[in-house]
Structure 1
Amino acid sequence: MNTPLYEKIYEYIIDQIKQGQLLEGDRVPSEKELAAEFDVSRITSKKALDLLAHNNIIERIRGKGSFVAHQQVENNEWTSNEMQSSMITNSKLIALIIPDFDNAFGLTLVKTIEKMCMQHKCNLIIRRTGGKTEEEASAIIDLVKSGVDGLIIFPVHGEHYNTEILKLVLNDFPIVVVDRYLRGIPASSVCTNNQSACETLTNYLFNLGHKDIAFLSPSPIGTSTLEERLQGFHIAYSKQGLKLNPDFLLIDLISSLPQNYEDHPETMEADFQSIKHFIENNPEVTAFIVSEYYLALTLRNVLNKLGKKIPEDYSIVCFDCPEDRFDQALFTHINQHEEEMGKKAVYLLIKQLNGEKIPKHTLIDFTLVEGKSTAPIQSL
């Protein structure tokens, strides 16, 4: 097993003290100097200095630096196992920032993150942003100021990244992004293979005989999850040698979060009317791919109001759908593997906290679940 990089720095400083290269009261190289010398991030060198300070080998003085403490090094033989035990007793504080969650999507993710944090002896704080960028920024600032050691962030939809996330990445703050990734920002991310998932949904409808398929979504601009689902839709058409009618894209909807659906009737009504006009203006459409579950519910309500039946008149597929213990799923849908996503997010964050290098982009598999919302076109 490879020795973690922070341990190598730790042992290097111990060695320097034992050999008399560093004496009591001498200044120890700074985080920046050690990071450059060992070619590691500053979070790694900081971890080594923090552990040295915790074990009273050095003394850290704010604004001045780190200095060899008055101690008996020869009686302070720290093995790797003892260092690991020391770190474990210092419980880490991790925060999860998420727009919202329920049993359609997010609840299993949150439960898994909480469970994994407990297994790693970490405490967890959860902050919901309601899908608002300003709430997300406020949560990041507040949590970092309060001393959290790392963040798992489920970013809000938006054309522009939250600058507070960018600041964290530039400062080497331990962070893992879930459900999507941020283009051009080297933050570690864990998300579903959304392009492949939407290709799978589209091909499923093709196999049922549907060719005139509509795509419904919030604006995909700036949100990798939605961008890749739209790409998967286009790619599936291209691979079939079919021409996609651009009029079949309705991608400016807004009521995709649980609280939008329940607490904001004005956004629901706006989307209801947009979908209603879309259906009336595109009578040749026979099936819909909906990028998010709550929009699929809105679509179903519109079709019911118009006197249309599912799946007799229209087939619907979507992403995510709550489990029904007594019947098959309401919608044929992509089931995202939230448990695997949560486990991977915590695993990668712990590795960052240990000063290890981690992959920047991790894709999680998915499962297509057949529900009551689809039927072959010849039976329509």
Structure 2
Amino acid sequence: MKTPLYEQIYDYIIDQVNKGLLNHGDRVPSEKELSDKFNVSRITSKKALDLLAQNLIIERIRGKGSFVSKLYNEKDHESKNTTVTNGSEKRYTFALIIPGFSDNFGTILVKAIEKACAQKNTNLIIRQTHGKIEEEEKAIKQLVNDSVDGLIIFPVHGENYNVELLKLSLKNFPLVLVDRYLRGIPASSVCTDNRLAGEQLTNYLFTLGHQNIGFISSSPVGTSAIEERVQGFQLAYSKQGIQLKQEFMLLTLLNSLEQTQVEQSLFETNYEIIKKFVQSNPTISAFVACEYDWALLISKVLQDLGHKIPEDYSIVCFDSPTHPYKRPDYTHIKQNEVDIANKAVDILSEHILKGEKEPKHTVIDFTFLEGNSTKPQ
């Protein structure tokens, strides 16, 4: 197995001391000097210096640098043991930054990430951004300043992504995105196959006899998960040889997470947008909702207009809550949150332990579940 980059730096300093090229009290190359010499990130060189300090090989003095410790004794370090401190395995600290979570999506993901970290003897810090990009930026800065070893980030929706993410990726800071990837940011990501999922949901409605199908979502711009679900919907139409009317696609809903007075206003706005959409497209007989919340809202609009589900309209969506021994309320795509979590933690661990810098994009399978919201036309 290839020696991790931080171990190579660790060994290099040890060798310099053992050969007498660095003596007790001599200054050790800085994080920047080591990162330039070994062509690695500052995070990797810092990790090597931190480990040298923990094993009493060097002494780090704030504002001055790192120096060979007078406590260093060569025979105590003949066998390399870079991951052991005071007889126990070094514990890393990961942080999860997430907009929020609920029973339909997120709760299982958070629990699975926490479990995967515990199995790797890794601490986990969780920060919620409530869907606000400024909170995401604040969380990233604080956690990096607090010297976490790596970040798992569920980015907020939006056309304008957080520039702090770009800074992290350019610095090769250990980082994994979940649920989506961001174009222009060379970071690892773990996502559901959203394009295939969107296509499968739409095809299912075709098998039930529906041909005029509406698609309901917030703006897909800047959010890969939504973009790919839209593409899957369009691809299903194309493969059926049926012309898709652009007016059947509603992509202007406003996102919300918190149940506050402001969110009540957003709810009312979205309600009116969907109501107008339904009334303007009387030939539509089924809907693909990009998210569970939109499925709930379209259901309320239809019921308020005097329609029944699934007798009058069929609805499919993503991430409807499920219950043991009970048929789901909505026919939906269930994302594999446990596999997403485990893969994200594994990739982040590899970035840190092996010093890997090449981004990895991993696609996770999903499950299609039939519910009470659909029936043949």
TM range (shorter): over 0.9
What is the rounded CA distance, in whole Å, between the counterparts of 2:38 and 2:144 in structure 1? 27
Per the TM alignment, residue 302 of structure 1 is displaced from its structure 2 partner at its CA by 0.8
**Structure 2 unaligned spans of 5+:** none
What is the rounded CA distance, in whole Å, between the counterparts of 1:35 and 1:270 in structure 2? 52
What is the rounded CA distance, in whole Å, between the counterparts of 1:165 and 1:129 in structure 2? 14
The yes-or-no answer on 1:323 pairing with 2:342 is no
The yes-or-no answer on 1:151 pairing with 2:151 is yes
Per the TM alignment, residue 261 of structure 1 is displaced from its structure 2 partner at its CA by 9.0
The residue aligned with 2:284 is 285
Amino acid at match of 1:142: Q
Listed one character per residue, the Cα deviations across residues 213-243 of structure 1 (whole Å, up to 9, x for unaligned) are 1110011111111111111111222222221
The residue aligned with 1:264 is 263
Q: Which moved more, 1:171-180 or 1:260-269?
A: 260-269
The residue aligned with 2:74 is 74
Shift of the 78–151 alpha-carbon distance from structure 1 to 2, 3 Å rule, reads farther
TM-score by length of 2: 0.93
The residue aligned with 1:341 is 340
**Structure 1 unaligned spans of 5+:** none
SS of equivalent residue, structure 1 residue 310: coil
Question: Does the Cα contact within 8 Å between 1:174 and 1:352 map onto a contact in 2?
Answer: yes
What is the rounded CA distance, in whole Å, between the counterparts of 2:146 and 2:19 in structure 1? 39
Shift of the 146–354 alpha-carbon distance from structure 1 to 2, 3 Å rule, reads same
The residue aligned with 1:135 is 135
What is the rounded CA distance, in whole Å, between the counterparts of 1:359 and 1:255 in structure 2? 29
The residue aligned with 1:85 is 84
What is the rounded CA distance, in whole Å, between the counterparts of 2:16 and 2:156 in structure 1? 48
Identity of aligned residues (%): 56
Q: Which moved more, 1:208-217 or 1:85-94?
A: 85-94
TM-score by length of 1: 0.92
Aligned length, in residue pairs: 375
Question: Does the Cα contact within 8 Å between 2:56 and 2:72 map onto a contact in 1?
Answer: no
Superposition pairs for residues 171-320 of structure 1, below 5 Å?
171-255=171-255, 257=257, 259-260=258-259, 264-320=263-319
Question: Does the Cα contact within 8 Å between 1:93 and 1:123 map onto a contact in 2?
Answer: yes
Amino acid at match of 1:335: K
SS of equivalent residue, structure 1 residue 83: coil
What is the rounded CA distance, in whole Å, between the counterparts of 1:268 and 1:78 in structure 2? 66
Question: Does the Cα contact within 8 Å between 2:131 and 2:256 map onto a contact in 1?
Answer: no
Listed one character per residue, the Cα deviations across residues 331-357 of structure 1 (whole Å, up to 9, x for unaligned) are 111100001111111222222232421
What is the rounded CA distance, in whole Å, between the counterparts of 2:112 and 2:79 in structure 1? 32
Shift of the 311–256 alpha-carbon distance from structure 1 to 2, 3 Å rule, reads farther
Question: Does the Cα contact within 8 Å between 1:226 and 1:291 map onto a contact in 2?
Answer: yes
What is the rounded CA distance, in whole Å, between the counterparts of 2:284 and 2:261 in structure 1? 28
Question: Does the Cα contact within 8 Å between 1:47 and 1:354 map onto a contact in 2?
Answer: no
What is the rounded CA distance, in whole Å, between the counterparts of 2:308 and 2:229 in structure 1? 26
What is the rounded CA distance, in whole Å, between the counterparts of 1:260 and 1:71 in structure 2? 58
The residue aligned with 1:59 is 59
Per the TM alignment, residue 125 of structure 1 is displaced from its structure 2 partner at its CA by 2.0
What is the rounded CA distance, in whole Å, between the counterparts of 1:138 and 1:293 in structure 2? 28
Shift of the 284–256 alpha-carbon distance from structure 1 to 2, 3 Å rule, reads farther
What is the rounded CA distance, in whole Å, between the counterparts of 1:52 and 1:122 in structure 2? 20
The residue aligned with 1:122 is 122
